[in-house]
Amino acid sequence: MTRREKLIERFLSMPSDFTYDELVSLLKRFGYQEDNKGKTSGSRVEFKRDRSSTSIVFHKPHNSSTIKLYVLKRVLNDLRNDGVML
């Protein structure tokens, strides 16, 4: 099993300790690029894909690098809507 497959499998299991860095790595492997809106965006990050008009937006975690479960679920839903995951 490749590193990418392991990361996808871990993401799909919705672990309570999935980190921001893991999520960024996963999104980049699917062709998304991080797009900051400058200094005024605060902790909000946006990921866009060249072939898609949709974007994935969420806030960076505070005090911890762990991503909340509701964010993981929303990202999974966005990936499915974008046709990246089944």
Considering only CA atoms, which of 23, 18, 63, 69 is closest in space to residue 43?
63
Note the pTM of the prediction, 2 decimals: 0.88
The CATH number corresponding to 3-7+17-81 among 1.10.760, 3.30.559, 2.60.40, 3.30.920 equals 3.30.920
* Confidence check: pLDDT of 11 > 80: yes
What are the sequence ranges of the domains in the chain? 3-7+17-81
User: 58, 69 in Cβ contact below 8 A?
Assistant: no
pLDDT, tens only, 31-86:
999 887 666 667 889 999 887 778 899 999 988 899 999 999 999 999 999 888 87
Burial 70-84 (b: 16+ CB within 10 A, else e): ebbeebeebbeebeb
Taken in order 36, 41, 43, 45, is the CA torsion positive or negative?
negative
